[in-house]
Structure 1
Amino acid sequence: MRLYLVAACAILAVISAANAADECSGCSKEPQFPEAQSLLESHGYSRSEYSVLMSWSERTHDGSDRFVTGFHVKGPDGATFDLYSDGDDRVFSKEDVKALGIREKKWDLPPVEKFGEAPPAVARLLPEKPVPTGVSKSIEPRGGAVLPEIDWARVSREDAESESLGKPTRIGVLLDLAAPAVVLGDNVSTGEWSPVDGGGSLWSIEILSPDALGMRVHFSEIELPLGARVVVYNGYDANEAYGPYFGPPPGETDLWSATVFTELVVVECFVPASADRNAVRLTIDRATHNYVPFGKLAMAKGAGACELDVSCYSSWASTSAGVGGIGSVGQSGSLWCTGSLLADTDSSTTIPYFLTANHCVGSQSSASSIEVYWLYQTSSCNGSAPNPSSVPRTTGGAQLLATTNVNSGTDFVLLRLNNNASSGASYLGWASAEAGIGTPTVCIHHPSGDYKRISFGDITNVAESLLDSHPRSRFHQSTWRVNLGVTEPGSSGSPLFIESTQQVIGQLWGGPSYCGVPASGRLDYYGRFDVSFPLIEQYLDPDTTISGGIEVTRPEAGISWAKGRERKIKWTSTGNIGAKVRIDLYQGGAFVMNLKGQTNNDGRWKWAIPLSLSPAANYFVRVSSVADDTIFDNSDNFEIRN
């Protein structure tokens, strides 16, 4: 039985349910992992009587986009219960937890399994590339910046230290512009606005980082009027272009562009004649300088000769299409890891849930920067590796849903990609039952950031120096078979499969293995999926019985919104109304237009109000469940004005 401590308990310092519901004002914008025993002891739970079995961080569901920290605690009588904190010094009551939309964890769930879902065809399908306005209209960039020189001796020392500590592999460093490139309407710090034939205006600059193999541009501010767009492209080959970008990812205030494989990046902002140029707000303050080519990451010197090309194992072709390489931006620069696209048990949806390691993507700011490279693999057994810029890529970041670190849990993070996975990607199956000692295993990964490889092993429990810190209760130890592959830097976060069923049972933390390691070190540690599952069960195994209600909370009665502006529509839901909602606009009871066919039921959606709408004070918005359109709510009447 799950126990919660109520507000009347004298030993707890709690915040009121009203405060908790007020957008979780005390919660953090990032996952927090305070020293668990010390926090509990400060609230009266002595170390001698209470032990923390696991701690984690998860996103609230009250519309605040904040995180709470959970603790699974064992008491002196052997009973277990869960406590939740704001990550600092407050512990929430049962009422607070409910107000925050945190679901009760089911630690005694019966085993659940899901088999993989293959794509219709495994093909390298690339998204349509934007055509830069400056290229199509023959307008050259009118300003720019050269990034500073890099202290390579320092970079080498940092990379060596990072590898020794088991941190994710770095492929690029962060460089600040000498002075940020700022656009505040007509006021620009570099470059200038140029008229565009056919209407509108264009601002563009070049950013050069000599000898960079790839660059990502950081917009610390990006706010555009309706119809305006930002595109980044290769200054030497405009066919490599990314965007268009219209603003930051959901819930964020900044934006990282996709990687452009060049030393010279052009950034352009186009504003149509119908938009107000003075509403443009852009600040570019830094960029990454990627210095390691894929497949030749620092310290690893390329994937080892003992690694096996996944394309040589045709029975794993469909499953391998669900494994992707991850590029992200952390405090030290551009990072590289591996992850996997997971299926859920609701056959009516294809939500892009993505599993990797917490030490690869441990914060929402890092999650917002990720890009996933799909199908970065040879087209035939031991064939040539493709150019990374030629494979499908999902950009736009992700929403961090739940995570644990290596010290307090299983070193996992579950993300929901903000954009869809490539149409050639598979959704992978998984199993929440414990995999026993001796279970044959497989890992598919990107060793050293190279093209995809495969390794074969077995679950073991061999005494080894890392075993105490990665106990069997939270981690699988996989020992690799002789001459059948290992893992390397860049493989972190990659999935561990049951060989016979091709179901995910964990994600890679790391270990001592590498090509040429003695037999005693030919093993790695994977956070156990079955231990993590109660924390992500609500996403991967949703209750498909649709019931509950919706309440539209914005727009409010009497509010006035101007045409051509962006405004947020907000709602709350109770029960299980499904993963998606539909949003429609009505006037005086008559249907006007569909605003969004389906969007995530996360409580908010940004609406760019069309200029074509007629001014009136009797509009309302309807939000309805996609799974059951009899579940809906109408907003109060509001005004749309010129």
Structure 2
Amino acid sequence: APWRFGIEHEVNWNMENSGQWSEEDGFRVWRLPIRAEGAKSWSFYLSRFVVPKGGELFVWDLERTHYLGSFNHLNVKEWEGLALSLIEGEQVVLEYREPLNIHATGQIEVGQVVQGYRSLLRREAELQEDLASFGPFGNSGACNINVNCPEGDDWQVENQSVALIVNGGFAACSGALVNNTANDGTPYFLTANHCLGNPNSWTYYFNHESASCSGNTGPTNNSISGGTLLVNNGGSDVALIELSSTPPPSWGVEYAGWDASSANHTSAVGIHHPSGDVKKICFEDDAPYTSSTGGAQVWWINAWELGVTEPGSSGSPLFNQDHRIIGQLYGGAAACSGSVNNGAYDFYGRFDVSWGLGVSQYLDPTNSGTLVLDGYPTGFNPDNGCTDPSACNYSPEAIFDDGSCLQNDDCGVCGGDNSTCGGCTDPAACNYDPSAILDDGSCVLGGEDLTIT
């Protein structure tokens, strides 16, 4: 079963029946505070999000440890809904502002809130010891291997394609960005057919991984709301989705390569989010073989040599020895038995079968007939990287500069946007943050509370 980290509340909050409007410095401003005693985090599904050019929505916590936004007219979806990613705190505020000189007024309606009750990114001293290993969305068995352990060193490029899928209060599945023959960065996302609900309401979290081999928490601010289902078929348990927006360059994502030929493969690697945990990696040193189960054509993994999968890993990519995707996780019996692998099997829907079930229409838009493709923009090439010694992500091993060089922002964060040291610098405001270095315009004088019990 998917790992649950929050309680879902169905609500009907909109700009007419909830929150307060004000006029401030040439803007109409609507604020809706939400609070629940003991809440660890919040996420929202906006059943309606239609805003004019110039309108902006933010979500922030009063402690200024984190905020989301802005969400503007570029985030308006065809279906007019918007899933907002996780934000920490017992109390948060939705804030929408638009210039007084525009005639159109934004329309925002909150249809669902998810009140997180599990431990989040910043550990509190009073947490019980047995909860200290929890990440934002869940934790996995002790035999799993963090993708940033030494075992994963050769897989850091492919690692950047994998994402966690969150549906409401559940960490539902995993999946990966995949390249296409135009090499144009279209955000095609591969996952499993059996994971499907409504991809429009999902949130896709990239780079949710521990920076260390032993860590259990990772970033939750690289997320995309919603996507459009393009292909799904039980014949290989495949689902192909186009995400509603393209991940920005600062996230460093990779669009994984693939092998749609019928070639045999000598070994396999899985990268995934077991039970909603930070990204993990598992290794099969023997050749996967073809089989069928549940009406699907699959690659069969007899047993993993290192690591395993769990619920939540479903839909995650299986890579061959050439670092190309050959399938996505359908099911299996692999699990941890204490701190060791239980030696059981897994099976993955075959990408070469998916190719003939509609996937080729999107991943070979040039009709090139290509059946084997490397990733984009990096591919499996350790010679590529940032060659600028002044950059914060300088790679001394790189021979060719791939355009990925980043600089520290004013907060000292590599590739950052100054959000980590931003906050309200007005001491008269109720959300004054004495640690803030940059004023982000979020100061609130007054406001209203809504309490969920």
Q: TM-score, length-normalised on structure 1?
A: 0.50
Give 1 or 2 for the bigger CA radius of gyration: 1
- Could you tell me how far 1:219 is from its partner in structure 2? 2.3
Pick one of 277, 291, 295 that aligns with 2:117: 291
Matching of residue 495 in structure 1 with residue 280 in structure 2: no
* Local SS of the residue matching 1:267: strand
Equivalent residues of 2:40, 2:116 under 8 A apart: yes
Q: Give distance in 2, aligned partners of 1:270 and 1:301.
A: 35
* Counterpart residue identity of residue 355, structure 2: F
Distance 1:446 1:274, change over 3 A: same
Q: Give distance in 1, aligned partners of 2:360 and 2:292.
A: 28
- Could you tell me how far 1:435 is from its partner in structure 2? 5.0
Alignment match, 2:161: 322
Moved more, 416-425 or 512-521: 512-521
Alignment match, 2:390: none
* Local SS of the residue matching 2:302: strand
Pick one of 147, 172, 191 that aligns with 1:310: 147
Percent identity over the alignment is 31
Distance 1:388 1:519, change over 3 A: closer
Alignment match, 2:451: none
Pick one of 59, 66, 83 that aligns with 1:256: 83
Alignment match, 1:504: 325
Equivalent residues of 1:230, 1:246 under 8 A apart: no
Distance 1:536 1:266, change over 3 A: same
* Local SS of the residue matching 2:4: strand
Alignment match, 1:21: none
Alignment match, 1:571: none
Q: Deviations over 1:197-251 (max 9, x none)?
A: 2x12211011123333322223222333442222222233264222323386432
Alignment match, 2:350: 528
Pick one of 340, 346, 349 that aligns with 2:182: 346
Alignment match, 1:543: 366
Give matches, 1:587-602, under 5 Å.
none
Q: Deviations over 1:25-82 (max 9, x none)?
A: xxxxxxxxxxxxxxxxxxxxxxxxxxxxxxxxxxxxxxxxxxxxxxxxxxxxxxxxxx
Gaps of 5+ in 2: 121-132, 369-453
Distance 1:301 1:268, change over 3 A: closer
Matching of residue 174 in structure 1 with residue 2 in structure 2: no
* Local SS of the residue matching 1:376: coil
Matching of residue 355 in structure 1 with residue 190 in structure 2: yes
Equivalent residues of 2:176, 2:317 under 8 A apart: yes
Alignment match, 2:301: 478
- Could you tell me how far 1:370 is from its partner in structure 2? 2.7
Alignment match, 1:232: 59
Equivalent residues of 1:343, 1:429 under 8 A apart: yes
* Counterpart residue identity of residue 111, structure 2: D
Equivalent residues of 1:324, 1:339 under 8 A apart: yes
- Could you tell me how far 1:489 is from its partner in structure 2? 1.9
Equivalent residues of 2:237, 2:330 under 8 A apart: yes
Alignment match, 1:558: none
Pick one of 197, 201, 204 that aligns with 1:369: 201
Q: Deviations over 1:394-442 (max 9, x none)?
A: 32321211112xxx42222111112112431112111112354x73211
* Counterpart residue identity of residue 355, structure 1: L
- Could you tell me how far 1:393 is from its partner in structure 2? 1.1
Matching of residue 378 in structure 1 with residue 210 in structure 2: yes
Q: Deviations over 1:356-385 (max 9, x none)?
A: 11232x24xx312333322222334x2434
Distance 1:461 1:501, change over 3 A: closer
Give matches, 1:181-200, under 5 Å.
181-183=13-15, 188-197=16-25, 199-200=26-27
Q: Deviations over 1:169-189 (max 9, x none)?
A: 433332023xx3232xxxx32
* Local SS of the residue matching 1:260: strand
Q: Give distance in 2, aligned partners of 1:358 and 1:296.
A: 28
Matching of residue 221 in structure 1 with residue 48 in structure 2: yes
Q: Give distance in 1, aligned partners of 2:289 and 2:326.
A: 16
- Could you tell me how far 1:292 is from its partner in structure 2? 3.7
Matching of residue 514 in structure 1 with residue 335 in structure 2: yes
Q: Give distance in 1, aligned partners of 2:41 and 2:312.
A: 17
Q: Give distance in 1, aligned partners of 2:69 and 2:178.
A: 26
Gaps of 5+ in 1: 1-162, 546-642
Q: Give distance in 2, aligned partners of 1:432 and 1:235.
A: 50
Q: Give distance in 2, aligned partners of 1:481 and 1:399.
A: 33
Equivalent residues of 1:446, 1:453 under 8 A apart: yes
Distance 1:200 1:506, change over 3 A: same
Q: Give distance in 2, aligned partners of 1:520 and 1:260.
A: 36
Alignment match, 1:402: 231
* Counterpart residue identity of residue 514, structure 1: A
* Local SS of the residue matching 1:173: strand
Distance 1:504 1:275, change over 3 A: same
Q: Deviations over 1:275-310 (max 9, x none)?
A: 236x34332232112334477489x97322222222
Q: Give distance in 2, aligned partners of 1:325 and 1:509.
A: 16
Matching of residue 440 in structure 1 with residue 267 in structure 2: yes
- Could you tell me how far 1:256 is from its partner in structure 2? 2.1
Pick one of 96, 117, 127 that aligns with 1:269: 96
- Could you tell me how far 1:346 is from its partner in structure 2? 1.5
Pick one of 418, 421, 431 that aligns with 2:247: 421
Q: Give distance in 2, aligned partners of 1:501 and 1:422.
A: 27
Q: Give distance in 1, aligned partners of 2:276 and 2:331.
A: 15
Alignment match, 1:337: 173
Pick one of 188, 204, 215 that aligns with 2:31: 204
Equivalent residues of 1:171, 1:297 under 8 A apart: no
Question: Once superposed, what is the RMSD of the aligned Cα atoms?
Answer: 2.9
Equivalent residues of 1:215, 1:260 under 8 A apart: yes
